[in-house]
A and B are shown apart, each in its own frame.
Chain A
Amino acid sequence: MPAEKTHVRTTLNGEATEYLCEANQSLLEVLRDVLFLTGTKEGCNDGNCGACTVNMDGRIVDSCLVLGVEAEGSDILTIEGVATPEGLHPIQQAFLENAALQCGICTPGFIVASKALLEKEPNPSEARIRHWLAGNLCRCTGYDKIVKAVVDAANTMGGKK
């Protein structure tokens, strides 16, 4: 007999969202396999790569280390909530213009993490960017163009472009 499911109510990408999940399902699993929001990726499932980064109540977290049941009452932003009907977010645009993705699997995690940084610190140094994003692994790019993209986005968001 399958385990009992919990009814969870959250705000997801600005919209009231409900789901059923078992206690052993991570928020990452809920997003991908229950809600079919596959933009948030699984890279390691143990908090070491950042591919599953979401913004939860204003903090970036590894959604593989949050249980689906723990998200009750939370305000969650995933990659799917970054762009608007008006267009791509400056960070997304900057990633494209700076060729900051090759295979693109780490890109959603980087975009959600960078967005949190730039909203907190609009003009971070390169060293600060590298420190903030150390929890996001990329195996394709060597990170150079990702840093450029974040700096570029900061300039756009700060009205310097």
Chain B
Amino acid sequence: MRPIEYVAAKTVQEAVTSLAEKGDAARPLAGGTDIIVQLRGGRRQIDRLVDMKAIPELNELTYNASSGLRIGAAVPCYRIYGDAEVASAYPGLIDAASLVGGIQIQGRSSIGGNLCNAAPSGDTIPALIAYSAVAEITGPGGSREVPVEEFCTAPGRTVIQSGEILVAIRVPAPAAHFGACYIRFIPRNEMDIAVVGVGASVVMDGNTVTACRIALASVAPTPVYAAAAGAALVGKEATEENIKAASEAAQAAATPISDMRGTAEYRTHLIGVLTRRTLQSAIQRAKEA
């Protein structure tokens, strides 16, 4: 790795100032599991890393049943699935948080970092979209909120401007009879980047779907919020046929490429399979909620 400057920020203001000073030549550091690899491989060239892990707001994990969940941007995955209340209330999120790398990676990596890394394959992102999560951003110009489905703009790029930081991710309290699930396909059983990942959530009224959100990983330059596919199921019975139609709509929302992790045809095929399986599981969870 090239020589680099390291700054441990203690407050949001300090972090914002330190990042703004260097613009694109500075990046925030939380778990480091993406950025350190990128710096070593020469895929990012920066002069300064700003460590966010000592900033109180970025380390908070708060949940209550009415206002929902707030995950500080630097909170590592293990704290999220290790919290019994959070795990019980947000199983679809836990699906994803427990998949990022192995135990060692989960000991460091954060959902905030997974989101800011903005890989098309980021496992937590479709789960966050399924839960209608919102990103809370602060910068020199103040604070703003961006729905997670709008956060990533291109591979490795987000709506974050120079000097801004992601402070937290807010996940609303699930409605009654809400269920969500994230499933990805990988060739091994762990440690792989998703070939395709699908996050889905539903709200059920008996066997009728009253709300549905479907999001996809690894099938486009950014994670895809397949709004039309979700909408296709709203107001319908959760039948095999209707679920299949939603899966087909999800396939239509994707623009997969062929790369070393999979061909475009295979990815399209998997979207169909995984959307169906994810919806079935979300529906099941919704009915049991």
Which B residues touch A62, using CB under 8 A?
Answer: 33, 104-105, 108
B36 to chain A: closest residue by CB: A65
- Asked if B40 and A50 make an inter-chain contact with CB atoms under 8 angstroms apart, the answer reads no
A102 on the interface (CB 8 Å rule)? no
- Asked if A134 and B190 make an inter-chain contact with CB atoms under 8 angstroms apart, the answer reads yes
Query: A79-114 vs B: 1/0 string, CB under 8 Å?
Result: 000000000000000000000000000000000010
Instruction: Name the distance in Å between A10's Cβ and chain B's nearest Cβ.
Output: 14
Select the residue from A45, A113, A134 with max chain B CB neighbours within 10 A: A134
For the complex, give the distance between the alpha carbons of A59 and B71 in Å: 19
Number of interchain pairs (Cβ within 8 Å): 82
- Asked if B3 and A23 make an inter-chain contact with CB atoms under 8 angstroms apart, the answer reads yes
With contacts A3-B3, A6-B6, A135-B190 known, is A26 near B101, CB below 8 A? no
Give the size range of A's interface with the partner. 20 to 34
B1 on the interface (CB 8 Å rule)? yes
Instruction: Name the distance in Å between B224's Cβ and chain A's nearest Cβ.
Output: 27
Which A residues touch B33, using CB under 8 A?
Answer: 47, 62, 65
For the complex, give the distance between the alpha carbons of A145 and B32 in Å: 33
B37 to chain A: closest residue by CB: A46
- Asked if B103 and A60 make an inter-chain contact with CB atoms under 8 angstroms apart, the answer reads yes
Which B residues touch A155, using CB under 8 A?
Answer: none
B175 on the interface (CB 8 Å rule)? no
A150 on the interface (CB 8 Å rule)? no
B188 to chain A: closest residue by CB: A134
For the complex, give the distance between the alpha carbons of A113 and B106 in Å: 13
Which B residues touch A138, using CB under 8 A?
Answer: none
- Asked if B1 and A24 make an inter-chain contact with CB atoms under 8 angstroms apart, the answer reads yes
Partner of B6, one of A23, A50, A53, A135: A23
Number of interface residues of B (CB under 8 A): 31
- Asked if B101 and A61 make an inter-chain contact with CB atoms under 8 angstroms apart, the answer reads no
- Asked if B37 and A61 make an inter-chain contact with CB atoms under 8 angstroms apart, the answer reads no
Interface residues of B in 210-227 (CB under 8 A from A): none
Interface of A is mostly: mixed
- Asked if B105 and A47 make an inter-chain contact with CB atoms under 8 angstroms apart, the answer reads yes
A20 on the interface (CB 8 Å rule)? no
Which B residues touch A3, using CB under 8 A?
Answer: 3
- Asked if A134 and B108 make an inter-chain contact with CB atoms under 8 angstroms apart, the answer reads no
- Asked if A23 and B5 make an inter-chain contact with CB atoms under 8 angstroms apart, the answer reads yes
Partner of B108, one of A6, A26, A48, A65: A65
Instruction: Name the distance in Å between A33's Cβ and chain B's nearest Cβ.
Output: 14
A18 on the interface (CB 8 Å rule)? no
Instruction: Name the distance in Å between A118's Cβ and chain B's nearest Cβ.
Output: 13
Instruction: Name the distance in Å between A73's Cβ and chain B's nearest Cβ.
Output: 10
For the complex, give the distance between the alpha carbons of A72 and B54 in Å: 11
For the complex, give the distance between the alpha carbons of A50 and B191 in Å: 11
A131 on the interface (CB 8 Å rule)? yes
- Asked if B6 and A69 make an inter-chain contact with CB atoms under 8 angstroms apart, the answer reads yes
Interface residues of A in 2-36 (CB under 8 A from B): 3, 6, 22-24, 26
A157 on the interface (CB 8 Å rule)? no
Select the residue from B37, B51, B104 with max chain A CB neighbours within 10 A: B104
Sample 28 A-B pairs with CB under 8 A, ordered by A number: A3-B3, A22-B3, A23-B5, A24-B3, A26-B36, A46-B37, A47-B101, A47-B105, A53-B104, A59-B108, A60-B103, A60-B104, A60-B107, A62-B33, A64-B36, A65-B31, A65-B105, A65-B108, A66-B32, A66-B108, A67-B36, A67-B49, A70-B29, A70-B32, A72-B8, A134-B189, A135-B101, A136-B102
Closest 3 CB pairs of A and B: A135-B102, A59-B107, A23-B6
